[in-house]
Amino acid sequence: MLVALGPSGHRTETHRDLVPASGGYRCPYCRHPVHLKRGRVKVAHFAHAAGTDCPAASEPESPEHLAAKALLAAEFRALGYAVLLERPHPEHRRRVDVAVRIPGRAGPVQVAVEVQASAINTKEIIRRERADRAAGYLSTLWCFTSSRAPDLLTLRPDVEVRVPEEIRFIHRTHTTDVALLDVNARSVWLAHLAETWRDGNSWFDSSGNEQSSRGRRPRTIRTVERTAASFALRPVWITPAKQTPRWIAAFAPDPNGSDS
């Protein structure tokens, strides 16, 4: 985790030069003590003691996950957005990775930005998105890192790839391109996933007439087209099938970027 409560109860974001506080630090979610760690490989962070019963500590975060949250917060702040790292919502069993306030069509809106560097099932995606809406966020913006979607960041547009279920789910339900975050390059990309088609087989029946079976679309295989994006966020109106049309937040394409 990148944020803890200091001795006076104020939020403190960790960094390489932060020193241990005389009164110690506590988790903003469970209020248990946490320890400041400043390794040479992993970004500076706070950690619970082993065996601490805290939902925020149930899933250990990788160095990439921590670095991705720090990168997003820095880039959003550079754009003038108000940002809260790891904003806790215990009443909804949620800790939003990066809460950011952006201009909306009728005034400022809050967006929950979620970094995903590991597998996640679709039921948990739905739960988090519902919790975020209940907490007052416009929408949840999912950013998949290169460790979860390495092929999507490198493949040519004409090459087919097997896409993880949660990424296909986000692409389908949000009806927008999927956000891919390259932490090392400090860049973000938008990936459009296109379905592929397999031709059916044909044969001749006993009368000599050619017959053919139906073609099919592989369930998990897609081709990918990438567009360079900026870290600027914008509201987008979506109309997903069998769902209520709604506004969500998305990264804006980079006018100076290149496509692939």
Reported as a single tens digit per residue, the pLDDT across 102-154 is: 998 888 999 999 999 999 999 999 999 999 999 999 999 999 998 888 889 88
Q: What is the pLDDT of residues 173-232, one digit of tens each?
A: 999 999 999 999 999 999 999 988 777 666 666 677 766 667 677 889 899 999 999 999
Cα–Cα distances in angstroms (integers) from residue 27 to residues 2, 3, 50, 93, 197, in the given order = 10, 8, 14, 14, 50
Please tell me the distance from the alpha carbon of residue 110 to that of residue 138, in angstroms, as a whole number: 6
In the chain, % helix, strand, coil (3-state, to 5) comes to 20, 40, 40
Q: How far apart are CA 45 and CA 1, in angstroms?
A: 6
The pLDDT value recorded for residue 8 is 81
CA pair distance 183, 167, nearest whole angstrom: 18
What pairs with residue 194 in β-bridges?
223
Say if residues 68 and 145 touch (Cβ distance below 8 Å).
yes
Structure token pair of residue 32:
């248990």
Rounded Cα gap, residues 230 and 104, in angstroms: 18
pLDDT recorded at residue 37 = 84
- Quote the pTM value: 0.85
**Confidence band of 260 (pLDDT split at 50, 70, 90):** low
Q: Give Cα 121 to chain centroid, integer Å.
A: 13
User: Which one is predicted more confidently, 10 or 229?
Assistant: 229
Residue 240 tokens, joined: 């997903």
Cβ–Cβ under 8 Å, residues 26 and 4: yes
Do residues 76 and 231 make contact, with C-beta atoms less than 8 angstroms apart?
Answer: yes
Please state the separation of Cα 75 from the chain's center in Å: 15
